[in-house]
Structure 1
């Protein structure tokens, strides 16, 4: 079976790259080991209910953001509901703060919760950086650089505002809080740390200012809900690929990729495929294992993070009945004493929209619950019931659920993620940000500088749906830049 491009995995990075390459007239084939597309940005059906596989929040539809770029380029329409407010955070002192989408309204909320001192200049500073980061990310699609042509393209696209971002790569969010004399505000630093963990996958002393400001301000951009779950974000992109004469194949677990006389040979559990180009949309840890090229393996090794630097997740899917319709769909709950067994200090809860009858029946709500599990390879969770009970107790005490309202409960550990997704260690959420790893040192889209590329949540920028989408845009751009 011959194609111009074979893509490994159908995560949103792969689907983005595939769709953009189909638009350029290439014949592509996306190989997915599971029975449905989307990877960690999708939904699955169980017991008649639709649960999210991983991500539950959707941003990136605003102007100058990656998802908007993809939809505009492909003419794809995604029916969605805009959420306002997007989230509430339940603090350790018992107070609840609402993450309003309006900057001024949010600043007033933050001042009431954390004290007036320097909240306004801090948030205005972060918001300006986040806007410029998103603009720059789409303008500089040759970044990170890995050849002279990248540098030339970037030089042509450079703008004054982009240069002003450079110092932020050398500062951590800890430095920023220190600058605004907020580092000694314990309640605020706890809030910042747990908010950073959602999108940057790390804490303020490790996350640089560029990623940190963008992570903290994602609620200040459009937040959306898609009826039926994120599978209905994914399916229109799959349909676009197929309408363009290309393919998405399920049940194909890629086991080996080797260079051929021309292009690559990709072997799955079912068949062998040949293509001129290949894009890996699976984590770098897994990508390392499937390429036979020893030289590439050695080069890739320096970018791969071990389990102790990654996060897994403990997730729960609940079906609730006889509950008042939630006014806010997304909640982060601080657990300062830490959850038993795994020790994580916050829980993320997302409800289905009360008007969305495609995920649950009348009078029912689907709730997705997740919490971080550090060093997932070592976290062999055998007593799930202990963690489940603790989470339910916390959510019940905050009035977010009623224990008696639960009619269905399922949970999953990093081990389940390994089984269902094949992701190394069961790691989720992408690579965490670390202060010793500057943006230009992260893995760029080229794997072998011949015809192999990579995208997804473990390469730059690779955080959340907008970041993963951007990684697919960059992979498609560099392939076209190099060969078309």
Structure 2
């Protein structure tokens, strides 16, 4: 079977690239090893209930944001429901902080909880940076640069306000807090650190201002849930791709990539596929294992993060009875003493919407829970039940659930992620931000500078649905720029 482009994996970055390339008239085949599309931004069904695979929050539909750009390009609408309040954070001192989506309302709330000292200038600065970052991201789709043509195209699109962002790549969020004399506010520092983990996968001393400010401000943009789960985010894009003659094939785990004179040979357990061009939407760690070209693997090794610099996750899926979904669906709970075995200092829980009978029929509610596992290849969790009980105790303590509400509990360790998703080391959430790796030093979309490209959460810009959507846009841009 021969196509113009074969795409490995059906995560949202892959599907973004597939849709945009299909729109250009190219024949595309997406190969997915699982039975559902969407990768870590999808849903799975268990015993009649739909649970989220990984991501539970959705942003990106505001002006100058990648998801809005994609949907406008392919003229697809999504069945989304906007959240009035994106999140609440349960702090270590017992206070509940509401992350309002209006800047003024949020600043008032931050001042109420953390004190008025310099909260306003800090958040106004972060929000301004985040707006500039999102606007620039779609104006500079050739970034990061890896060819002279990238530089030329970016130079022609350069604007003075874009250059103002450059110094912020050299400052960490720790520097920004120091600038506003906020490092002595321990409650605020703890809040910033745990919030950065959600979307930047690291703490303030490592995350640069560009990524950090954008990560901290995602609740100040439109936040949405998708009735029936995030599977209904990806299915409209899948349907767009297949309705135009391209293919999405499930149960095809790719085993080998061989570069040929006229393109690529991609071998799965069930078949072989040929294509002029290739896009890998699976992690860079996994992608390099598929290549037979030792020189290429050696050349790209400098971009690969080892397991000690990655995060895994311990996840739980709950079915609850005799409970109304909270008015706020998403909650982060801080745990200063840490969780057993993994020492994580926070957990994140997302409830299904009260009107979403597709995810939770029979007047039940489903909830997804996740917490970070540092260096997942070393943290082997032997006693899942003890960790489950510790997490449930925290939720009960904060009055989000009661033990008699629980109908069923299922959990997965990083080892479960390896089995289910095949992701190396069970890593989730993308590559964490590190201050030694500037944005232009991250892996760009080109894999071999012949016809292979990369998208997903281990290539610029990284984490979250909105980030991987942008990575798919950039991979498409560079493929078309190089060959059409």
Q: What TM-score, normalized to structure 2?
A: 1.00
Q: Offset of 1:79 from its aligned partner?
A: 1.3
Residue 30 of structure 1 corresponds to 30
Residue 480 of structure 2 corresponds to 480
- SS of alignment partner, residue 338 of structure 2: coil
Residue 436 of structure 1 corresponds to 436
> 2: distance between equivalents of 1:477 and 1:324?
45
2:86–2:328 CA contact under 8 A, matched in 1:
yes
2:174–2:205 CA contact under 8 A, matched in 1:
yes
| Structural mapping, 1:236-255, within 5 Å | 236-255=236-255
| Structural mapping, 1:281-320, within 5 Å | 281-320=281-320
Q: Offset of 1:198 from its aligned partner?
A: 0.4
> 2: distance between equivalents of 1:215 and 1:455?
20
2:357–2:363 CA contact under 8 A, matched in 1:
no
2:325–2:352 CA contact under 8 A, matched in 1:
no
Matched, 1:231 2:231: yes
> 2: distance between equivalents of 1:121 and 1:279?
42
Q: Offset of 1:178 from its aligned partner?
A: 0.2
Q: Offset of 1:260 from its aligned partner?
A: 1.3
Matched, 1:394 2:361: no
Matched, 1:18 2:22: no
Residue 184 of structure 1 corresponds to 184
> 2: distance between equivalents of 1:9 and 1:252?
9
| Structural mapping, 1:9-408, within 5 Å | 9-408=9-408
2:145–2:151 CA contact under 8 A, matched in 1:
yes
| Structural mapping, 1:429-468, within 5 Å | 429-468=429-468
2:333–2:348 CA contact under 8 A, matched in 1:
yes
2:324–2:365 CA contact under 8 A, matched in 1:
no
> 2: distance between equivalents of 1:403 and 1:62?
39
> 2: distance between equivalents of 1:362 and 1:151?
57
Deviations 1:151-194 (A, max 9, x none): 01101111111110000000000000000000110000000000
> 2: distance between equivalents of 1:253 and 1:325?
38
> 2: distance between equivalents of 1:117 and 1:192?
16
Stretch moving more, 153-162 or 473-482: 153-162
Deviations 1:424-456 (A, max 9, x none): 000000000000000000000001110000000
Q: Offset of 1:403 from its aligned partner?
A: 1.1
- SS of alignment partner, residue 313 of structure 2: strand
Q: Offset of 1:363 from its aligned partner?
A: 2.3
- SS of alignment partner, residue 372 of structure 1: strand
Q: Which consecutive aligned stretches of 4+ in structure 1 deviate over 6 angstroms post-superposition?
A: none
- SS of alignment partner, residue 121 of structure 2: helix
> 2: distance between equivalents of 1:294 and 1:384?
39
Q: Offset of 1:299 from its aligned partner?
A: 1.3
Deviations 1:103-156 (A, max 9, x none): 000000000000000000000000000000000011000000000000011011
> 2: distance between equivalents of 1:37 and 1:295?
32
Structure 1: gaps spanning 5 or more residues: none
Q: Offset of 1:300 from its aligned partner?
A: 1.1
> 2: distance between equivalents of 1:113 and 1:391?
25
- SS of alignment partner, residue 318 of structure 1: strand
Deviations 1:180-220 (A, max 9, x none): 00011000000000000000000000000000000000000
> 1: distance between equivalents of 2:400 and 2:325?
11
Structure 2: gaps spanning 5 or more residues: none
Q: Offset of 1:101 from its aligned partner?
A: 0.3
Q: Offset of 1:283 from its aligned partner?
A: 0.2
> 2: distance between equivalents of 1:313 and 1:79?
28
> 2: distance between equivalents of 1:386 and 1:311?
21
2:325–2:351 CA contact under 8 A, matched in 1:
no
**How many residues in Structure 1 have an aligned counterpart in Structure 2?**
484
Q: Offset of 1:362 from its aligned partner?
A: 3.7
- SS of alignment partner, residue 303 of structure 2: coil
- SS of alignment partner, residue 214 of structure 1: helix
> 1: distance between equivalents of 2:346 and 2:399?
16
2:332–2:348 CA contact under 8 A, matched in 1:
yes
2:460–2:471 CA contact under 8 A, matched in 1:
yes
- SS of alignment partner, residue 302 of structure 1: helix
